[in-house]
Amino acid sequence: MRVSIDFDVLVTFDCTYGQSSYENGILRVFVEKGLVIPYCKVKSGRDGVSLVKCGKGESHQIEDMFPVHYIYDAARQTEYVEWELVDGFLRARSVGGEWVEYKSKSESSYAMSEFVGGCWFVFEGVAFSYRMVGMYAPDRQSSSGKKEVQEFGSRSCIGPSSREYLLEGVLNIAPGPGWMSWEIYSENFYIDIPDCHA
């Protein structure tokens, strides 16, 4: 399913990225997880759906459109794949199957950061892209000091209809794993969600 959304409202800094492909000016980048989508309304159109940023009270449950949907407690460094709030207290199941019951409403609220993934970022009309990956050491906690750079297109091809997009996060496949920074200059952006999960 093609989903149009303003790239600038997405929080992509915590994303984990997988494979990518570039062909005929179209760059596809797989988002494994870590994408934050703001409160949005869904509007249907002939080219798919559009997500339009809105207030919390107007928002639809758009996270359910994605194949990967979870909450993350940064303090405990734990991902939860199933959860419920009961009188403001979180009860959640981790990826490993363990159920946890929070005893504090403030900790429960803090742990309710929702993330999605399992989708593709699609950039059409790519004039130029520059990807730099700083490879991790075997412990995946520190840098190995090695970097790899990959370019598509040419900076001289960036025209007035091109816009700059910046992706940062973990690249989970070769040449990684490592921290990735990717500048992309293209004419259009949308998210592609596999139809079997929409």
**What is the structure's pLDDT at 115?**
92
| Phi (first) and psi of residue 58, to 5 degrees | -95, -10
> 169 and 109 share a domain?
no
> 104 and 130 share a domain?
no
**What is the structure's pLDDT at 67?**
94
> 32 and 90 share a domain?
no
The total number of structural domains that make up the chain: 2
State the average pLDDT over residues 150-157: 90
What's the pLDDT band for 197 if we cut at 50, 70, 90?
Answer: very low
Is 79 within the bounds of a domain?
A: yes
Is the pLDDT reported for residue 113 higher than 90? no
> 130 and 193 share a domain?
yes
The reported pTM is 0.89
Pair 90, 112: CB distance under 8 Å: yes
Is 59 within the bounds of a domain?
A: no
> 149 and 111 share a domain?
no
The four Cα atoms 198, 82, 40, 193 give a dihedral, to 10 degrees, of: -30
Q: Which of 117, 142, 157 is the last residue of a domain?
A: 117
Least confident of 28-37, 66-75, 93-102, 133-142: 133-142
Q: In what order do the strands lie in the sheet with 40-45?
A: 40-45, 48-53, 2-4, 188-192, 119-124, 26-33, 15-23, 163-171, 178-186, 128-136, 143-153
> 82 and 129 share a domain?
no
> 50 and 123 share a domain?
yes
State the average pLDDT over residues 162-168: 96
CB atoms within 10 A of CB 23: 7
> 103 and 125 share a domain?
no
Q: In what order do the strands lie in the sheet with 89-94?
A: 99-101, 89-94, 78-86, 68-73, 113-117
> 47 and 122 share a domain?
yes
Question: Token pair for residue 113?
Answer: 């950061």
Question: Token pair for residue 1?
Answer: 């399913």
What is the span of the domain harbouring residue 49? Answer: 2-54+118-197
Is the pLDDT reported for residue 99 higher than 60? yes
> 134 and 169 share a domain?
yes
CA atoms within 13 Å, Cβ hemisphere of 84: 3
What's the pLDDT band for 196 if we cut at 50, 70, 90?
Answer: low
Nearest-angstrom CA–CA distance, 154 and 148? 18
Pair 18, 173: CB distance under 8 Å: yes
State the average pLDDT over residues 172-186: 93
> 132 and 110 share a domain?
no
